[in-house]
Amino acid sequence: MAPHDAVLGWNEDTTAQAYEAFTREFPMYGATSRDLARRARLAESHLVVDLCGGAGATAKAILELAPATAHVISLDNAAAMQRVGRRTLDDPQLTWVTAGAEDLACHAPAAEVDAVVCNSAIWKTGVPRVFTAVHTVLRPGGRFVFNIGGGFAGVHHDDEKSAHPGPSLNRLIHQVAARDYGYAPPPTRLAPPKLPLEAVAAHLSRAGMDVVDSEVVAHRGTVAEKRAWLSIPVFARPDGDFTHAQRMDILAKAYALTTPDAPTVTSWLVVVAERPTGWP
């Protein structure tokens, strides 16, 4: 079963506004977007897709690196996210398309896209269909660049192990929820990761693309940034039958037990794939 933030809630104004405010105040999405855009090699691009583009943080990074003559399509199925993005990123080079990632091939010309970039969202899509759609729109030699959260990919950056001298904010949230609300966390199961590199490479190969690079990278933040991220409704914890107000009460009490500027590290698996020049 996917986490409760996989699909639900993204098309709500409260989520969209909180998400966009987070991207303005904290560096995570801006930094990860710039990293992906750099790897996409956009210097001579004409058409680029920001897949699952949300409120436009990645489109902004793409526009900063792509030529002034390039066009960017930001595709996302949450109209609320795009409404927020349109207000903050009004650029004649950018077209907003409200559609699911699986339907990309219906909204971009076949074999004409120089690069497809997807930040933080591949895990919540129908991966085989999306990869097939990406192959359809990419030109031969075009790049598909995306990242997967460490938990979903089953990877951990070395810096992650040394960044948490005490209990994590997530663990404190569970402790406070148990103390104040009788919350019983589900039993911990050592389930295999949902999207390890081996599975990703196999899906890409079946879709007609090759992995040309992969790297485990770290985003370094603070507990204060983590708190702000967990304040976004779709990311709020714990799971279960809680109202958002109750989750925010739990978060505030857990955060009070932390040091706000204590360092945190989030691991990401970054994958760079290409459509081979000789593939039909």
Instruction: Indicate whether 241 belongs to any domain.
Output: no
| CA torsion through residues 42, 46, 50, 56, sign | positive
State whether residue 151 is helix, strand or coil: helix
| 173-209 per-position pLDDT tens digit | 999 999 999 999 888 777 789 999 999 999 999 999 9
Whether residue 1 has pLDDT greater than 70? no
Instruction: Indicate whether 165 belongs to any domain.
Output: no
Structure-block tokens of residue 57:
């943080």
State whether residue 168 is helix, strand or coil: coil
- Residue 276 has a pLDDT of 96
Instruction: Indicate whether 234 belongs to any domain.
Output: no
Instruction: Indicate whether 181 belongs to any domain.
Output: no
d(CA 254, CA 246): 12
- Structural domains of the chain, count: 1
| 214-270 per-position pLDDT tens digit | 999 999 999 999 999 999 999 999 988 999 999 999 999 999 999 999 999 999 999
- Residue 279 has a pLDDT of 53
Instruction: Indicate whether 1 belongs to any domain.
Output: no
Instruction: Indicate whether 257 belongs to any domain.
Output: no
Domain containing residue 46: CATH number: 3.40.50.150
Provide the whole-model pTM: 0.93
Domain that holds residue 269: 13-156+190-220+265-274
Instruction: Indicate whether 242 belongs to any domain.
Output: no
d(CA 250, CA 172): 9
**With bands split at pLDDT 50, 70 and 90, how would you rate the model's confidence at 98?**
very high
Instruction: Indicate whether 7 belongs to any domain.
Output: no
Give φ, ψ of 208 to 5 degrees: 95, 25
